Amino acid sequence: MRMRCSILLFIVALWIAPQPTFGGYLTLSGQRPLVLGHRGASGYRPEHTLAAYQLAIDQGADYIEPDLVLTKDGVPIARHEPLFGATAVNGVPVSTPNEFTTTNIFDHPEFASRLRTRNLDGTNITGFWADDFTLAEVKTLRARERIPNIRPGNVPYNDLFEIPTLQEVIDLAKAQSIIQGRTIGIYPETKHPTFFQQNASNRTHPGRFEDIVTGILHANYGNAAAAPVFLQSFEVSNLQYLANQTDIRLVQLISGASSRPYDFVVAGDTRTYGDLVNPAGLDVINDYAFGIGPTRDLIIPRTGNVLGSPTSLVQDAHAAGLEVHAYTFRAENNFLTTAYRIGTTLSDFGNYHDETLQYLQLGLDGFFTDQPDRGVLVVQAIPEPGTVVMVLAGLPALLWAYRRNRTLAVR
Q: What would the pLDDT profile of 255-314 be if each residue is shown by its tens digit?
A: 999 999 999 999 999 999 999 999 999 999 999 999 999 999 999 999 999 999 999 999
The Cα 40–Cα 369 span in angstroms is 9
Rounded distance between C-alpha atoms, residue 79 and residue 57, angstroms:
19
Q: What is the 3-state secondary structure (H, E, C) of 51-75?
A: HHHHHHHHCCCCEECCEEEECCCCC
pLDDT at 385: 64
Q: How far apart are alpha carbons 359 and 313 in whole angstroms?
A: 12
Q: Which element (helix H / strand E) includes 3?
A: helix 2-16
pLDDT at position 24 is 63
Residue 203 DSSP SS3: coil
The residue among 317, 273, 280, 270 whose CA lies nearest residue 295 is 273
Distance separating alpha carbons of residues 229 and 221, to the nearest angstrom: 8
> How wide is the angle at C-alpha 410 spanned by C-alphas 405 and 411, nearest 5°?
95
Instruction: For the chain, list residues with pLDDT below 50.
Output: 1-23, 387-411
> Cα 222 vs. chain centroid, distance in angstroms?
23
Can you give the pLDDT at residue 405?
Answer: 45
CA end-to-end span of the chain, whole Å? 15
Domain ranges of the chain: 1-20+387-411, 22-73+151-385
Phi, psi torsion values for 38, nearest 5 degrees: -70, 105
State how far the Cα of 82 lies from the Cα of 131, in Å rounded to an integer: 7
Q: Which CATH class is domain 22-73+151-385?
A: alpha beta
Instruction: Please state the pTM of the whole predicted model.
Output: 0.89
Chain CA centroid to CA 143, Å:
20
Q: Are the beta carbons of 72 and 134 closer than 8 angstroms?
A: yes
pLDDT number for residue 343: 98
- With residue 180 as reference, give the H or E element that holds it: helix 166-180
Q: Which amino acid is at 181?
A: G
Q: How many residues does the chain have?
A: 411
- Give helix then strand counts, H and E, for the chain: 15, 17
